[in-house]
């Protein structure tokens, strides 16, 4: 799948691009079922909120077939190769839960700030791809983006080890206020199957979810092979050190898996 010149221009200018319903209901259904099964497991890759609710499940593509296929899907790999002009490897893979009633905040931050400080990534030539597994609504903790904030480079940040169960390099209120005054806040919302891609330096965060509606999103961090991390400090399941270029699967691979999965359950 290739992006149009207009889509590329929007990404370069605004720092993000949203493609609604890129994955079918059939493909999303099997991933949602598998995500719930993963959250029920007890393994080091699954981190939980202070309440005990699941917060994120790392590296699911290494132990789950549905997410292995997603991690090499051409609808995601090809557009990012187009934007980064390089082959890609998987730097990080996670399924963020944002559970109904208990989903906690993600503070304002830039992803590249963490990749640079904790992993030794040389440049902001990696990108997050977010796949909606549930409907993302204005009320259930959608991702909030600050358009054009990626143009300011990597900002000063504080390592927040206390606010949530997940340590994060966060931005102060004055910085966020200044950037929002310049670019506003965008909150891409949509049905399951939507895909959001955004620049590694784009400032973003999300509020807690106190609604009955869960908001599961799969995040793939795709890094240019030439931009591989130099000094990793985090666990392998969080920041991968296998820099092998991703080989894409056929476009219908996830759909075929979904059909066989459904047939086996009937």
Domain ranges of the chain: 5-244
Rounded to two decimals, what is the model's pTM? 0.92
For domain 5-244, give the CATH superfamily: q2cbj1_9rhob like domain (2.60.120.620)
Q: With a cut of 70, list the residues of the chain below it in pLDDT.
A: 161-166
Apex CA 97: angle with CA 93 and CA 99, to 5°? 175
Q: Label residue 244 exposed, middle or buried (CB < 10 Å: 0-12, 13-18, 19+).
A: exposed
Which is it for the CA torsion 182, 186, 127, 93, positive or negative? positive
Question: Which pLDDT does position 232 carry in this prediction?
Answer: 95
Question: What's the rounded Cα separation, in Å, for the pair 155 and 207?
Answer: 21
CB distance 14 to 199 below 8 Å: no
Question: Which pLDDT does position 107 carry in this prediction?
Answer: 86
Question: Which pLDDT does position 265 carry in this prediction?
Answer: 78
């Amino acid at each position: 799948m290739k992006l149009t010149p207009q889509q590329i221009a929007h990404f370069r200018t605004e720092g993000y691009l949203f493609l609604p319903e890129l994955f079918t209901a059939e493909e999303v259904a099997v991933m949602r079922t598998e995500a719930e099964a993963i959250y029920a497991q007890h393994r080091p890759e699954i981190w939980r909120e202070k309440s005990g609710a699941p917060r994120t499940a790392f590296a699911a593509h290494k132990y789950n077939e549905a997410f292995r296929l997603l991690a090499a899907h051409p609808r995601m790999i090809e557009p990012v190769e187009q934007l980064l002009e390089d082959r890609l490897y998987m730097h990080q893979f996670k399924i963020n839960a944002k559970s109904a009633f208990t989903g906690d905040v993600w503070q304002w931050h830039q992803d590249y700030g963490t990749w640079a400080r904790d992993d030794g990534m040389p440049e902001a030539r990696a990108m997050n791809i977010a796949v909606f597994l549930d409907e993302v609504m204005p009320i259930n903790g959608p991702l909030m983006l600050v358009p054009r904030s990626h143009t300011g480079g990597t900002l000063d940040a504080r390592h927040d080890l206390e606010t949530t169960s997940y340590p994060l390099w966060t931005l102060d209120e004055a910085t966020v206020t200044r950037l929002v005054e310049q670019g506003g806040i965008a909150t891409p919302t949509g049905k399951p199957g939507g895909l959001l891609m955004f620049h590694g330096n784009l400032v973003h965060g999300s509020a807690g979810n106190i609604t009955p509606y869960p908001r599961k999103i799969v995040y793939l961090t795709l890094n240019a092979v030439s931009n591989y991390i130099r000094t990793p400090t985090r666990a392998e399941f969080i920041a991968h050190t296998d820099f092998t270029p991703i080989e894409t699967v056929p476009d219908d691979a996830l759909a075929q898996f979904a059909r066989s999965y459904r047939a086996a359950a009937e």
